[in-house]
Amino acid sequence: MARNQPTDPPIDLYAAVQGEVSWFCCGSAWGPCSSTGHGACGTCNSGSMQHAWPNTSDACLSITRPDACGVSLSRRTCGFAHRTTALCSGASVVTTIADCGPQTDLFCGERSCCGATCASNRLIDLTPAAFSQIASLSAGLRPAEISVP
């Protein structure tokens, strides 16, 4: 009997997605960040080219719940690389997963725009070092495209 073979990888696994990008601190830090650790992967540092991803494990996904916002994100684990491209400027940065986050479900439906270009739902958080390569830290939140480099 002929069987359908699953696509390897699944056809949508590495498709680019659009969503909101923000920044967070991790590792040794000052101020309100001083109690922050090195993240779920144990490697996160604000000065490194890293990011948080909402689906790094079952435990992570049970907290971030992007599915509650109608977003399906595949499982990607510590060290996996993503390219984040700011839709406002076109600037991009490649970073690796170092933590679980953001908590997508707490901001369901939120939309950020630059002009007529918008994206909804929080899908990725960059470290300050990474975010500041594509936007000013004072911007706080930006629409972005996330892809696999």
Q: Give the interface with another protein as residue ranges (CB under 8 A).
A: 22-25, 27-35, 43, 45-50, 79, 81, 94-96, 98, 102-103, 106-113, 118, 128-130, 132-133, 136-138, 140-141, 149
Nearest distance in Å: CB 5, another protein:
32
The residue among 8 and 36 lying less far from another protein, judged by its C-beta, is 36
Residues 59, 45: Cα–Cα separation, whole Å: 22
Give least dist CB 32 to another protein, A.
5
- Nearest distance from C-beta of residue 67 to another protein, angstroms: 17
Is the CB of 17 or the CB of 128 nearer to another protein? 128
Dihedral sign for Cα atoms in the order 45, 46, 47, 53: positive
Of 15 and 106, which CB lies nearer to another protein in the complex structure?
106
Sign of CA dihedral 114, 121, 18, 139: positive
Give the pairing of strands 117-120 and 111-114.
antiparallel
Nearest approach in angstroms of CB 51 to another protein is: 9
Residue number, 47 or 61, with CB nearest to another protein: 47
- Which tokens belong to 13? 């696994």
- Give, for 142, the enclosing helix (H) or strand (E): strand 141-147
Question: Any idea which residue has 């699944």 for tokens?
Answer: 10
